[in-house]
Each structure stands twice: as structure tokens, then as C-alpha cells.
Structure 1
């Protein structure tokens, strides 16, 4: 199973990460401020309760009287009702913010995934990305909503408690709070341990998600290679590491709170000891003494809550870092500002300014290297006239797919230019170019939904008539009508209800429904049977007529009618010409073609035998 790499992250609690995260939540500013206000009110009411108890003891219990008790009871009951209403409102508000935050962050992340270039997906596994958009987002939205409640309530309550205690007796307050400094030092120690432990847990969680994703996607391969036991052992290894690391992280978290509670009990003991002595000598009323004990006991509840929230923030910082790294990852390929102003961006097109593509294409002094340093092209030049069909032939790694990926602007040249109708394609928008492309991959991918839905992905406003016309053009209409529900037949996950050839015909119809000016076939017939290949070959001849097209060919018999065949070796043009011209030259293409022809005849002979 694939190993994933986690990006480098900060090694301590980083407020900058949280500030960067909150800038994406400006739409929730009013809701968050309302939540803060509600919690401050709740903290104020909680702080007032021991004062009421102190008043009751000194005025009713000590004096042994019930005079004015009814009015006090009414006031007390009204405060309780008021607090209950506050609690109900803040619970509803926090739940609302949690769900909207999750939606908003996922929307931002998904939008960025649409904008990122192919190179990002070259180095990021699907399981890793899924972990970010699911568990990481859920963790953050819960922490920001409910964690904020706990933090605001804790801080406000401690401030109210200390202010009231200082008002009544400064010395007793300082004695009771003497355990706070050692608590602070212990908190810093545990902060580092908890943050480090939970960051490692999140990394292992991403690995487990990747393992699951790969196992589901490669289930057939696992069965055919009889790798069940090996895969199970590999998964068990990752799961055991996850379990060990999770237990270790949980131990650090579980130790922190008992220490806070123990120190809180010591502070309460100080209050009872020194406060009790003052009561005995008459320096403190019994009601105020009970109030102090109540505050010292309750004081460490918000301290414990705050400690727990800080621990959760430390745990969730790894999630925050991962989300931020995704949302703030800049695409390798982007439009210049002046291009966006004229043509629009990926999500807001200004089609009124789009020029029509005629189809003249030129690769001019082209250099290209992948991020890993692999050089593909050096000073590559190629001119293609409008309406020509260009076949790209060569061994694996010769640069065939790289040419069409550069043409489609999935990658951009390291230097040099790609001209469309005489103009550098970077002077027009990505959306302009890719809206004029029809691309059929070697391994067709269908989305969950109906056949009609999948064809319509090529042109979202396509009518049913246009969809049927496209299907007929690629000879897919007949098999579609033979399915149970015709165009409304569900294709299943990744087209699992259809054969490979049927999926390829649908992807072909999807590519053509938008009437693209430039067409790309990337080994589109290499994974299908001979009979379906003939159907697709007939469709290709009809579809590519009068369009500029590039055909990356595996089976050379499919490109004999191409206007020009480009033979590539190690990123350079070895030969070029028509099929007949190249055969007459008896060069590299001639050897490739004759060898493949002999191989196909041998395969046919073996089938007959």
C-alpha cells in the first residue's frame, strides 16, 4: 500500500494558524460575536449565584429570619429562568454555526481542488485529501463552535470570580489562587506533548484512509493476485501504529485534567484553612466564607474546562494546518489578472469576450520538465494547421501524453510558447481553452448517475436532442436504447454497470456534445476489444472531420488515415509524415508498424488454433 507524506508543520501552538483560519470565516462574524456575548452573560449569571447564596446565609440563616425571603426567592427563580433561556439560545446558535462552518470550509476546500493543477494530484493521494475534507473539517467546525463556548465561558467566569473575591478579601484571594502559577507551568509542558502526539495521530489517520481507499479501488487486483493476507497484514501494521499513538496521546490528555483538579483541591483547602480562621476571629462573615469556598471550588471548573479546550486546540491544530495548507495552496497554472479581467476566471466566465478557435496550433521553442526534475522536451517545435489530425507515436516516456497535456494546459511549458491561432494561449483564460477541448482518456471515468447525466457533463446546458445526437454520432445510441431505461439507465459507481467499451463510447459522446474546436484522444482504444475499437474508429473518422485533433496511439492500425504522424523518441521528433510516407522511408515507424502487425497476426492465429 502507498505511503503518504505529511507536509512540514509547526512544532508548537501557533496562533497565526488560527488567525489565518478565521479570516475564511468572516461570513460568520455576527453569529460568532452573538455566541461570545451569550456565553459572557451565562458566565456573569453563574458568577452571581454564590453571591446570592452568601446573601441568603448572612440575612436569613445567620439571623434566623424569613423576612423578605419571598422576594429573594422570586428573584432567584427569575435568574434561573433567565439562565435557562440563555443556555437554550446558545446551544441552538452553536449547533447552527458548527454545521454552517463545516459546509463553508468544505466548500472552500472543494473549490480549491477544482482550481489546482495536475501536478498537485501527482503528489497527493485521494485518501489523504478525503481525510482533510471529512474528519479534519468535522473536527475544526466542532472545535470553533463548541470550543469557543467553553473558552469564552471559562475565561469570563474566572475573571468574574477573581474580581468578586478580590473585592471581598484580597489576601484570601491571593492565598486561594497560589496554585495557579504551577498550574501554568504544567500546562505548557503538557501543551507540547499533546500537540506532538495528536499531530502524529492525524498523520496516521490519513494513512489509514488511504489504505481503505486503495483497497476498495483495487479489490479486483487484490483478488487476482491473491494478496488478501499481505494487504491485511499491511493494514494491521498501520492500524496498530494508529492504536499505539492514539493511546499515547490519550494518556497525555487524561493526565492533564486530574492534575488540574488536584491543584484546584489544594487551592480550596487553602481557602477553607485561612478563611475558617478568619471566621472564628470575626474577620469574615459566615456567608462570605461559604461564598469563597464556593468560588474556589467552582474556579477550577472553568480552569479544567479551559485546559481541556486548550488541549483540544492543540490536538486540532494539525487539522487546521492541513486544511489551511489545502485552501491556501496556489495552483501551478493560473491566469494573469489582465486575462481574468477580460475573459473571466474558472467560475465566472466572460464569454462575450471569447474569441472563436480556428485551430492553428504551434509548439514554439518548447522546453518542459516535471517537478521531480525529469526533462521531457528541449527546444521542441511543431506546427499544426487547422482541421488536421495529428497522430503521436512512440515508446513509453517519449512525450506523447505530455504534448497533449501541455496543449490542454494541464501543465505549462517551462519555457517557450504554445500558440493557438497565432496567440500564446496564456494570454487567454484557462476556461476559454478547456471549454473548447474534447478529451477522451485511455481509462474512461463515469460519474454516478444516468447515461444522460454523464453525456451532459460535456455541456451542462445540453438539450436531450443534443445528447442523443452526440450519442448517435459516436454509434452509442443503439446500445444505450438496449439498456433497461435507455438514457436514464444508472451507470453505477465509476460506470460499474457498463462494459469498458460502453463506458468509452459514453465518454466519447460526452467529449463531443459540446462541439469542441480541438479534440484529443489519449490512447482511447487501447483498453477495449477489437469489435468496439472498430465502432469507435468509425466514430473517430466522423467526429474528427474538420477539427484540429491529436491522437495518442497505441495501436498503429487506428491512425493510418491521420493527416500527419509524429514519431517521438526521448522528447524529440524522430520522423513525421503520412502513414504511406513513413512506410516508404522504412525508418523507426516502419519497424514499429510491421512488428505490431506481425504480433497481431500471431495473436489472431493462436486464437484460431
Structure 2
């Protein structure tokens, strides 16, 4: 299974991190304000209830009279109704805040994923990204919304109770709150332990999600290679590590909360001892002792909840670090400010300023490497005329795909320049280039939905006539109209309900519907049978007319009509010419072609 490096994050509580998340709360500041006011009301009323009980004890129970009881009962009942309304409001607004917050963060994350360069996806597993966008975002939404609710309620309730305790008897208040310094020390200690433990749990969880994704997407390969037992062993190792880390994290949390409860019990015992003695000496009323006993129980309830929020905050910080690291990642390939001002960006294009592409392309002294130790291209040069078809052949790893990826600006050269119609393509926007390129991959990918929806994915506002015209151009219309639902036929996840050849034809139609000026075929016929190859070859002839084309070829028989064939070896052009010219040279291409021709004949007759 593929291993991906995890970022190293801070080990302390990171206040700056949570401040960064504040911008996602700004659009919902009205809801936040209403929620804060509701929670202040809830906390204040909760603090007032014991005072009401004190009044009842001192004026009705101890004195044994009922005068004023009806007024007291109505007041008490009114507070209960108000509190019930407050609780309904807090649940409604906190739920909305959680949903909206998760939506906004996911939207920002998805937008960033559309902007990031290919190199980012080279380093991140799909499972890692899915974990960031799902469970991590959910955890952030929960802790900010419900953690905010519990924190405001708890702090408000504690504030009012402390004021009331000092008002009624400051000596007894000091005795009751004597355990607070110990609680602060314990909280600081466990904060570090819990944060480290939960961060490790999240890191392993990302690896498990990635392993799940690889196991599901590669199920067929697993079975054909009979790797079920080895995959299970690798996955069991991961889950065992997850189990150990989760247990350690749970132990720290389980120790922290009981300590808070124990300190609460100590506070209650101190209040009972000191308060009982004061009642015996007639220094305080019996109702005051009841008030303090109620407060020692109630005071540590919000402390307990704040401790829980604090523990969850550590858990959520690990999630927040990962989500924000993704959202704040800068794309390796970016348009300059001047280019964006003139031509727009991927989400706000200024199409009226876009110049028309003719299709003349120049690679000037291009050098490129994925890592400094592994150079792929070095001083590569190529001049392509408008409407010319260039075929690239060579061994795997020779640099063929890198050349077209640099052309498409999926990667940028380390040195040198790519000119389109005589202008460095970095002086134009990425979207301008990408909208003028049709790219058909060796393994076509279709999106879940209908054939119609997949074709118009290349031009979202395409009419039915344009969709059918594109399908006819690539010879896909014949097989589509034979399907029961025609263009409204579901393709299944990844196009799984269609054959590889059918998927390839649809991907052709999707690529040409926007009428791109530059066309790239990356071994588009290497995974299909001979009969379908003939259909696709005819489609290729139709598609390439009037465009500048690059073909990466596995089957050399498919590129004989190319204007020029470049034989690439270790990032350099070792032979160049038409099919006829290269065959006459009897060099590298000649040997490659004749060996493949003999092999295909043997397979056909064998």
C-alpha cells in the first residue's frame, strides 16, 4: 500500500489556528450572536434556580407558612417556560450553525482542490483527502457549534453562581472554590497528553481511510494477484496500531473527567462541612446552606462540560490542522496578478480578453524533474506548426507524458519556456489554455450519470444538437442509439456499465464538444480490441482535422499518418521524422516497429 507523508503539526494548543476558522463564522455572526444571548439567558436562569430554592426553604419550609407561595410558584413556572423556550432555540440555532459551518468549510476545501496542481495529488492519497473533507470537517463543525453553546452556558452559569455565592457568604464561597487551582493545573497537564494522543489517532485514521479506498478500487487486481491474505495482514497491522492509539487516547480522556468529578465532590464536602458548621453556629440561614450545596453540585457540572469541550477541542484541533493545511496549500502553478487582472482566474474568467489560439507551439530549452535527483527532461526543444500532428514514442519513463503534461501546464518547466502562438503561456491564464485543449486519457474516466451528461461535461451549456454532433464525429452515435435509453443511458460509477471502447468513444466526444484547438491523445487505443480500434482510428482521423495534435502511442500502427514522429529516450529526441522516413533510416524506430508488427502477427495467428 502507498505511504504518504503526514505534515508535522504543533504539539501545543494553537489559538492562531482557531482564529483562522473565525472567518467561516463571520457570515453567520447574527446566528452566533442570537445563540450567545440565548446561552447567557440559559446560564443565568440556571444560576437563579438555587436562589429560588433558598427563598422557598427560608420563607416557606423553615417558617412553616404559605403566604406568597402562589406568586412564588407562578414566578418559578414562568422561569421554567422561558428556559424551555431557550433550550429549543439553542438546539435549533446550534444545529443550523453546525450545518452551515461544515458546508462552508467543505465548499472552501473543494474549491481549493480544483485549484491545486497535479503535484499535490501525486503526494496525497484519495482516502486522505476524503477523510479531510468528511470526518475532519464534521468534527470541526460539531466542536465550534456545540462547543460554543456549552462554553457560553458554562462560563455564564459559573460567573453568576460565583457572584451570588460571594454575595451570600464570601467565606463559604472561598472554601467551596478552593479546589479550582488544582483543577487548572490538572487541565493544563491533560491538555498536552490528550492533544498528542488524538493527533496520532487522526493520523492513523487517515491511513486506514486510504487503505480502504485502495482496497475497494483495486479489488479486481487484488483477486487476480491473489493478494487477499497479504492485504488483510497489512490492513490488520494498521487497525492494530489504531486500536492501541485509540485506547491510549481514551485512557487520558477517561482519567481527566473522573478527576474533575472527584474535585467536584471534594468541593461539595468542603461546602457541607463549613456550611453545616456555620448553620450550627447560626452564622448563616439553613436556606443558604442549601444554596451552597446546590451550587457546589451545579458549579462543577459546567466545569465538567467545559472539561469535555476542552478534551474534544484537542481532538478537533488535529482535524482543524489537517483541513486548514489543505485549504491553505498554495498551488505550485499559479497565474500572476497581472494575468488574473487581464484574463481572470479559473472561477472568474474574463473571456472577452482571451486571444484566439491558432495552435503554433514551441518548447524552448525545457528542463524538468519531479525530484532534483531524477531529471526527466533536459534542454528539450520542439517547434510544432499550426495543424501539425506530432506522435511521441519511446519506452515507459522516457518523458512522453511529461512533455504533454508540460504543454497542458499541468506541470511547469523548471527552466525554459513554452510558447503558444509566439507567447509564453505563463502570460495567459491557465483556464484559457485548458479550455483550448482536448485531452483523452489511456484509461477513460466517466462520471456517474447519463451518456448525455458525460458528453456535455466538456461544455456544460451544450445543446442536444451539439451533443449528437460530437458523438457522430467520433463514431459514438451508432452504439449509443442502439442502447435502450440512448443518450439517457446510465454509465454507472466510473463508466462501469460500458465497455472500455465505448467509454473511450464517449471521452472523445466529451473532449471535442468544446472544439479545442489543441488535442492530446495519451495511448488512447492501447486498452481496446482490434475491432474497436478500427472504429476509434476512424474517429481520431475526424477529430484531428484542423487542430494541433499530440499523440502518445503504444501501438505504432496507429501513428503512421502523423506528420512527425519523435522517438524519446531519457528525455531527449533521438530520432525524428515521418513514419516513412524513420523506416528508411532502419534505426531505433524501425526496430521498435518491426518487432511490434511481428509480435502482433504472431498473436493474431497464434
Task: Please report the TM-score for the alignment, with normalisation by the length of structure 2.
Answer: 0.98
Partner of 2:41: 41
Matched, 1:377 2:377: yes
Q: What SS class does the counterpart of residue 345 from structure 1 fall into? A: coil
Partner of 1:119: 119
In 2: Cα distance, 1:219 partner to 1:484 partner: 30
Matched, 1:322 2:337: no
Q: What SS class does the counterpart of residue 411 from structure 1 fall into? A: coil
1:212-249 CA-to-partner distances (Å, cap 9, x unmatched) read 11111111111112222222222222222222221221
CA distance 1:350–1:383, shift in 2 (3 Å): same
Partner of 1:460: 460
Matches within 5 A, 1:25-424: 25-371=25-371, 373-424=373-424
Q: What SS class does the counterpart of residue 370 from structure 1 fall into? A: strand
TM superposition shift of 1:572: 1.0
Partner of 1:443: 443
The answer for unaligned runs of 5 or more in structure 1 is: none
In 2: Cα distance, 1:367 partner to 1:27 partner: 46
- Equivalent residues of 2:24, 2:101 under 8 A apart: no
TM superposition shift of 1:120: 0.5
Partner of 1:593: 593
In 2: Cα distance, 1:488 partner to 1:379 partner: 49
Q: Alignment length, in residue pairs?
A: 606
1:406-440 CA-to-partner distances (Å, cap 9, x unmatched) read 11110111121111111111111111110011000
Bigger drift between 389-398 and 61-70 goes to 61-70
TM superposition shift of 1:70: 1.2
1:373-424 CA-to-partner distances (Å, cap 9, x unmatched) read 4211222111101000011111111111001001111011112111111111
In 1: Cα distance, 2:586 partner to 2:371 partner: 37
1:292-329 CA-to-partner distances (Å, cap 9, x unmatched) read 11111111101111001000001111111111011111
Bigger drift between 320-329 and 67-76 goes to 67-76
In 2: Cα distance, 1:25 partner to 1:369 partner: 42
1:122-150 CA-to-partner distances (Å, cap 9, x unmatched) read 01000111111111111111111111111
In 2: Cα distance, 1:586 partner to 1:430 partner: 41
TM superposition shift of 1:102: 1.5
In 1: Cα distance, 2:131 partner to 2:208 partner: 9
Partner of 2:543: 543
Matched, 1:557 2:557: yes
TM superposition shift of 1:43: 0.3
In 2: Cα distance, 1:168 partner to 1:46 partner: 17
TM superposition shift of 1:508: 0.7
- Equivalent residues of 2:458, 2:513 under 8 A apart: yes
TM superposition shift of 1:596: 1.5
1:328-355 CA-to-partner distances (Å, cap 9, x unmatched) read 1111111111111111111111111111
Q: What SS class does the counterpart of residue 45 from structure 1 fall into? A: helix
In 1: Cα distance, 2:147 partner to 2:109 partner: 22
TM superposition shift of 1:171: 1.7
1:267-314 CA-to-partner distances (Å, cap 9, x unmatched) read 111111111111122211111121111111111101111001000001
Partner of 2:493: 493
In 2: Cα distance, 1:275 partner to 1:25 partner: 45
Q: What SS class does the counterpart of residue 208 from structure 2 fall into? A: helix
In 1: Cα distance, 2:221 partner to 2:401 partner: 25
1:474-530 CA-to-partner distances (Å, cap 9, x unmatched) read 111111111121111100110111111111111011111110000000111111111
The answer for unaligned runs of 5 or more in structure 2 is: none
In 1: Cα distance, 2:371 partner to 2:55 partner: 73
1:575-607 CA-to-partner distances (Å, cap 9, x unmatched) read 21111111122222122112212222222221x
In 2: Cα distance, 1:458 partner to 1:555 partner: 27
In 2: Cα distance, 1:378 partner to 1:342 partner: 32
Task: Please report the TM-score for the alignment, with normalisation by the length of structure 1.
Answer: 0.98
Partner of 1:532: 532
TM superposition shift of 1:555: 1.0
TM superposition shift of 1:371: 4.1
Q: Which runs of 4+ in 1 moved over 6 A?
A: none
In 2: Cα distance, 1:52 partner to 1:331 partner: 61
1:35-89 CA-to-partner distances (Å, cap 9, x unmatched) read 1121111101111111111122222222222111111111111111111111111
In 2: Cα distance, 1:109 partner to 1:275 partner: 56
In 2: Cα distance, 1:372 partner to 1:327 partner: 27
- Equivalent residues of 2:6, 2:203 under 8 A apart: yes
Bigger drift between 228-237 and 103-112 goes to 228-237
In 2: Cα distance, 1:369 partner to 1:315 partner: 39
In 2: Cα distance, 1:181 partner to 1:244 partner: 33
In 2: Cα distance, 1:194 partner to 1:260 partner: 15
Bigger drift between 136-145 and 51-60 goes to 51-60
Partner of 1:472: 472
1:450-478 CA-to-partner distances (Å, cap 9, x unmatched) read 11111111111111111111111111111
